[in-house]
Structure formats: structure tokens, C-alpha cells
Amino acid sequence: MPAAPDSISQIVSPDEIAEEDIVERIFEAVVEQRLPPGTKLSESALCLAFGVGRMRIRRSLLLLSSREVVELHANRGAYVASPTAKQAREVFEARLALEPTIARLAVERAGAEDIANLAAHIKMEHSAHHDDRRLEAIRLSGQFHILLAQIASNAVMLRMMKELVTRTSLIIGIFGGSSVANCRDDDHERIVCAFEARDGQAAADLMTEHLRVIESSLELGKKNRSAVDLVSMFARE
């Protein structure tokens, strides 16, 4: 019998973490490239890490796999996904279909506060980039695109974008040539300028160009990493 059932209206019990949060946390870790492609995600380790039972971890991994951020191999466990070149092209094709529209909608619907947030975000990106805080820079770079989807106020597209941004981090981890950072924040700045000018079409066009630049900076059609990599690595000529 509960002593004081006064305001138990907290949605979740305070000491337990929901699987949605676990999914979100792993998404973040992948975006920041703290979890590189192919990393094994053993159940026991995750149980320890999050302090929850195996069932909850199992459900979280299933959700992650349904978003194609982790691969589930039967009887062998869960691994951070390693997108193929084909999948990489598909992800960018989807982003090119979605994000210009998102940018246009976001411009139409942005309030003064939203634009202020965007400006502040750009500043944070700049300073992170300037101070060589690489992890933070990567995280903010992805977050910018999420922020646009939030301003566009469309939950469906927001969810899609979270998945696509996360997978893009994996793609950059695999196919990103050594020099490639993530997004050039100059591009982001120009997009914010389009916001301040209230020019939706310009924002959409800039976004299209931005995505094209990122994709073309990748070395698709090259290594697959792992199996094939070894073959070519030791090929004699």
C-alpha cells in the first residue's frame, strides 16, 4: 500500500529508463561516432550500461534494427550497422527528396524564436569547429538538420530525419574520406540566412546543394570495409 499516492502522475517510474530513451541514447552515440559501424552491442554489456533488465535491452535493439541503425544477426547478436554503398546512395536519395521540402516548410512556419535558435545553433557550430571539439561539432552538425525538421512541425518527417541523420553518420564513418568532416557549417549558415530573408525556395535550393556536396565528397564505389577490404588490402598489385 503506497504511503502517499498523492501525485504519482509521473509518466514513468523515476528509477527506470524507458526503451525509447535507450534508443535515443544509442542514436546519439552513433551520430557522434562514438559507436563506429560494426561495433558489437552485447546484451549483458548494455544491461550494465543502462542498468535495466535484458528484456528492455532486447526490445531496444529490435527497435534500433527496425530503423536500420543496428543489424541483428540470429544467434550472433546485435552490431552497429555498416551501410553498403548502395544503402548510402539510397539514404542520400531519400534525404534529397525530404529535406528541401522540410527546409521550405520550416521557413514558412518558423517564428522569431525559431530563427533565434537557429542563429544560436550556428554560433555553437562555429565555436565547436574553431576549438577543435570534433565530437561536439559532429553532433551539432547533425542536430542542425533535426532542428529544421522540428521547426517544420511534422512528426512523421522528424522521425524519418532522425533515422536518416543517424545513418548518415555511419555512412560518413565508412565512406567519408579522411579529410571529410561532416557538413561544412558555412552551408548551414547560408541556410539560416535564407530563413532570415524568409525565402523558402532559397532554403530548399541551398539544402539540395548542401546534400549534393556531402554525397559527392564521399568515396562510394570503393571499399566495403571488413571482408572485401582484406582482399584488396593484401592484393599484390
Q: Which residues bind a copy of itself (CB under 8 A)?
A: 59, 62-63, 66-67, 87, 90-91, 93-94, 96-98, 101-102, 105, 154-157, 160, 164
Q: Of 74, 97, 112, 235, which lies in the binding site for DNA, with binding defined by CB under 7 A? A: 74
Instruction: Tell me: does residue 72 bind DNA (CB under 7 A).
Output: yes
Contacts of 203 (CB under 8 A, 6+ apart): 103, 104, 106, 107, 191, 194, 195
Cβ proximity of 181 and 217 under 8 Å: no
Q: Of 75, 178, 179, 216, which lies in the binding site for DNA, with binding defined by CB under 7 A? A: 75
Q: Of 24, 34, 36, 55, which lies in the binding site for DNA, with binding defined by CB under 7 A? A: 55
CB of 218 to a copy of itself, least distance (A): 16
Instruction: Tell me: does residue 66 bind DNA (CB under 7 A).
Output: no
Helix boundaries (H) for 131-154: 134-152
Quote the CA–CA distance of 189 and 20 in Å, as a whole number: 32
Helix boundaries (H) for the chain: 19-31, 43-50, 54-66, 85-109, 112-130, 134-152, 155-175, 185-196, 200-216, 227-233
Number of residues that bind DNA (CB under 7 A): 15
Amino acid symbol at 207:
M
Q: Of 71-79, 96-104, 136-144, 168-176, which segment contacts DNA by CB under 7 A?
A: 71-79
Partner that binds at residue 44, options DNA, a copy of itself, none, CB closer than 5 to 8 Å by kind? DNA
Q: Which residues bind DNA (CB under 7 A)?
A: 40, 42-44, 53, 55-56, 58, 72-78
